[in-house]
Amino acid sequence: MTTDAPLPPHRAEAAANARFQALVLPYLDAAYNLAHWLTRNDADAQDVVQEAMVRALRYFGSFHGTDARVWLLAIVRNTFYTLRARHAPELARDPLDDDHHPLVDPGPSPESVALLAVDVGALQEALARLPETWREVLVLRELEECSYKEIAAITGHKMGTVMSRLARAREKLREELTHRPKEGRRHDLR
């Protein structure tokens, strides 16, 4: 005879912690990678990931087992924007955050441009200079290999917005990498 009696609280908590570790912790590197590209700072990225992991553990009961990576990356992104808004409210909204830009033909991908002898440092600098909303979709797509649908779920934007931002980000990155300014001059992408 089997019973469906609930687990004692300590066993239920242990089971939830084990499930959290199995489902969420494998994506800790992806969480840090996204946080680092958003903050552009090691210490801040660690703070964002730490706060995001606390939130993820606290709200793990609301996770329904769809895609732990997308769920965690959405928490990391939201944590970044929440912390940034707390510390710098005037920076909370990106002036380029709108849906009124046409799609641009993406042409060669950033990877193929990068393979044309662009060093890693130049690529990192060019990515860091992209507007935040463009950088996040580019990092999610090209570095974290998220689908458009996953990026839309992570960012909370429509898929068309994701595609538009990604096309604009690729275009600006391609321009930056193929027409790099001379040493010592800074090129503003905005």
Q: In percent, how much of the chain has pLDDT > 90?
A: 47
Closest CA to 52 of 24, 33, 34, 72: 72
CA gap 92, 85 in Å, rounded = 5
Residue of 80, 66, 82 whose CA lies nearest to 31: 80
- Where residue 118 sits, what CATH number does that domain have? 1.10.10.10
Q: Are residues 57 and 115 in the same domain?
A: no
For 121-136, b where at least 16 C-beta lie within 10 A, e where not — what string? eebeebbebbbbbbbb
Same domain (yes/no): 87, 131: no
Are 134 and 69 within 8 A, CB to CB?
no
Give the pLDDT confidence of 131-168 residue by residue, as tens digits.
999 999 999 998 899 999 999 999 999 999 999 999 99
Q: Domain total for the chain?
A: 2
Range of the domain at 162: 110-178
